[in-house]
Structure 1
Amino acid sequence: MTMETAEIEDKGSAVDHAVDAIRQLMRERNLGVGDALPSEIELAAMFNSSRNTVREAIRILKAYGIVESRQKVGAVITDRRQQALMELFSFALDISAESFLDIQGFRRLIEVNLSDLLFENIDNAGIARLEAINDAMKQAPELSDAAECDFKFHAELVSLADNRTLSQVYGILQPLLQRLMEAGKRSRDAVESSYDEHCDIIAALKKQDRIAYAYHMNRHLHAGLQFIEPSKEPRQI
């Protein structure tokens, strides 16, 4: 083993030790989501490590979705492990017609069937929030910004149904759904079409018209397919 290789392994071992030590500290102090970790200097002193080693350990914990950095607070415990995994999955996913139909089929099961909960819980303030998000999507300077607003529109819709589990699921799926929306917004015309379709959905909500809501939501969830390249291989049955 060369000296250079030994130094790399020693550094890796030190960082691994710091990661394990931080996780052990979280357990011993019963730290939960929202609690702040000690500063890098304090952690380095506690573990008899260098500050650079602690900084690298925290970077690894961030990548795992266990902590995040906040201004004036430092490293704070979070729980983005599922979302971090979904970000990795969405990055690797090939957005094809097949995957589009699969994902939109899942969304259809949820969003089309939200009407009863929405009509029970939505109010003028909720309608106003949907309209504001839709207007922001239309005026977004970049197509990626429009896709982000599109996700916010549907996440707000799910939130207005007042079902915490569904809201959490959409939060976890955000990287995947937003990437799908970006694929379906490759032109300004696509954004304009989505804006008009959102307007139709909002109009159905105002009238509490279940048939109109289901029709326009179904139509909207299928519309983006025209902007997705067809699958090159036949779907396996």
Structure 2
Amino acid sequence: MVETADIEDRGSAVDQVVDALRRLMRERNLGLGDALPSEAELASMFNSSRNTVREAIRILKAYGIVESRQKVGAVITDRRQQALMDQFSFAIDISAESFLDIQGFRRLIEVNLCDLLFSSIDDAAIETLRSINDSMKAAPELSQAAALDFKFHATLVGFAGNQTLSQVYGILQPLLQRLMEAGKRSREAVDNAYDEHSDIIEALIKRDRIAYAYHMNRHLQAGLQFIAPNAV
């Protein structure tokens, strides 16, 4: 394990700390937004100096893998991946065809999460979903409502307890949120989404697989009516 492994004398000590940090991320299953241990803790774990650890973290920062945050320290990020997704989101046309493609991808994930959700969701999670849904309905701007719509679905996916799926939704946020904005060009669309979210929540409470699948499918399809054939 990385925690007990000494950094050997061969090669650059900094390079070996960089390698050790990569192993640490894998072994602890650290993802976007997770913080690394402090410099002092890393130096002790790797039997290295704090200066060497600091230089290794500087290299990871240069590659866009971590960033420094006040009172937190080094946090895992991926600015290169985010920039790529921002560019992809900007370039893709939001049309009826692309809407169906993207929602088809979401359907494969969100509709089929019911068993994981039913086994893990509790009263606190239900209240969190209700609170997000209420905030979406009350949002004064349609763009804010779209952001809260994304938050509702990302939170729902998070409650399934699969870190990889949560990270995928985080990576796809610019694209999915732009799609949601295209599907919420009227207050009617927001009100409809609120009602559809409420139906999904009720199905979760009752642990009703058929109702959950029906309401989620209906919700993911509903926004199409608000997207013009040549919408961008």
TM-score (norm 1): 0.70
Change (3 A) 1:127 1:66: same
Change (3 A) 1:157 1:77: closer
In the alignment, structure 1 segments of 5+ residues that lack a partner are 1-23, 38-45, 47-57, 233-237
Supply the distance in 2 between the matched residues of 1:168 and 1:219 (Cα, whole angstroms).
Answer: 25
Supply the distance in 2 between the matched residues of 1:65 and 1:95 (Cα, whole angstroms).
Answer: 29
Identity %: 73
1:228 aligns with 2:221: no
**What amino acid does structure 1 have at the position aligned with 2:177?**
Q
In the alignment, structure 2 segments of 5+ residues that lack a partner are 1-11, 26-34, 40-54, 56-60
Tell me the residue number matched to 2:82: 83
Tell me the residue number matched to 2:157: 158
Structure 1 residue 84 displacement after superposition: 2.3
The answer to whether the 8 A contact 1:201-1:216 is kept is: yes
Tell me the residue number matched to 2:124: 125
Tell me the residue number matched to 1:206: 205
Supply the distance in 2 between the matched residues of 1:26 and 1:172 (Cα, whole angstroms).
Answer: 30
Tell me the residue number matched to 2:166: 167
Tell me the residue number matched to 1:137: 136
Structure 1 residue 81 displacement after superposition: 2.7
Q: Deviations over 1:39-72 (max 9, x none)?
A: xxxxxxx9xxxxxxxxxxx8xx5xx844546347
Supply the distance in 2 between the matched residues of 1:25 and 1:98 (Cα, whole angstroms).
Answer: 52
RMSD: 2.8
Change (3 A) 1:95 1:124: same
Q: Secondary structure at 2:172's aligned position in 1?
A: helix
**What amino acid does structure 1 have at the position aligned with 2:211?**
A
Q: Secondary structure at 1:95's aligned position in 2?
A: coil
Tell me the residue number matched to 1:235: none
**What amino acid does structure 2 have at the position aligned with 1:128?**
E
Tell me the residue number matched to 1:147: 146
**What amino acid does structure 1 have at the position aligned with 2:191?**
E
Aligned length in residues: 188
The answer to whether the 8 A contact 1:143-1:188 is kept is: yes
Change (3 A) 1:121 1:67: closer
Structure 1 residue 28 displacement after superposition: 6.7
Supply the distance in 1 between the matched residues of 2:200 and 2:125 (Cα, whole angstroms).
Answer: 13
Structure 1 residue 184 displacement after superposition: 0.6
Structure 1 residue 216 displacement after superposition: 0.4
The answer to whether the 8 A contact 1:65-1:84 is kept is: no
Supply the distance in 1 between the matched residues of 2:73 and 2:202 (Cα, whole angstroms).
Answer: 45
TM-score (norm 2): 0.71
Supply the distance in 2 between the matched residues of 1:199 and 1:191 (Cα, whole angstroms).
Answer: 12
Q: Deviations over 1:5-46 (max 9, x none)?
A: xxxxxxxxxxxxxxxxxxx99747526784699xxxxxxxx9
Tell me the residue number matched to 2:48: none
**What amino acid does structure 1 have at the position aligned with 2:195?**
D
